[in-house]
Amino acid sequence: METVLCSARVADIKDIHALLLKAADKGRLLPRSLADLYRHTRDFYVLKEQDGRLIGCCALSVVWEDLAEIRSLYVCEEARRHGSGSLLAKACMKEAQAMGVGRLFTLTYETGFFARLGFRETDKDVLPQKIWADCVHCPKFPNNCDETAMLCLL
């Protein structure tokens, strides 16, 4: 399958939203509003088939001076197992490194995937900026969070 990796454009946001809603319905990640996605268009990479159909997305979000997050990584079911997720995550990792970010983290259910990319499980307490910026708004906060925090030193 031929795919194209590129930075998201405003025209991609509704497709990103639809993809992330499917993922949220399956319990793979938390939903994000259209307004939030439009505000963060520049954070996203998208993976498209040659016909333009969006099959995956991933965002890099700078959280603090030396800390960034990979978030909203999802690849549609039929496009998995072809390196699509790794391609998206590595684009974010490369950009974070180019920006001078020293630590990259994610909150995930897919620990094996991120471990293969060099991430290691960590305690959420090492991510206070994330917890107080985003997690406090999550319906699973503070006692029901079932995601695993993982950290990669760049």
* pLDDT score recorded for residue 28: 85
- The CATH code of the domain at 3-153 is 3.40.630.30
pLDDT tens string 50-70:
999 999 999 999 988 899 999
* pLDDT score recorded for residue 139: 59
**Strand 44-49 relative to strand 54-64, pairing:** antiparallel
pLDDT tens string 91-148:
999 999 999 999 999 999 899 999 999 999 998 878 755 554 555 555 555 666 678 8
* pLDDT score recorded for residue 130: 59
pLDDT tens string 30-44:
888 999 999 999 999
Model's pTM, two decimal places? 0.89
* pLDDT score recorded for residue 127: 79
* pLDDT score recorded for residue 154: 94
pLDDT tens string 65-92:
899 999 999 999 888 878 999 999 999 9
Where are the chain's structural domains? 3-153
Neighbours of 153 (CB within 10 A): 9
* pLDDT score recorded for residue 132: 47
Helix (H) or strand (E) holding 22: helix 13-25
Please report the beta strands in 43-136, taking only residues with DSSP state E, as ranges in sequence order. 44-49, 54-64, 67-75, 103-108, 120-121
* pLDDT score recorded for residue 77: 85
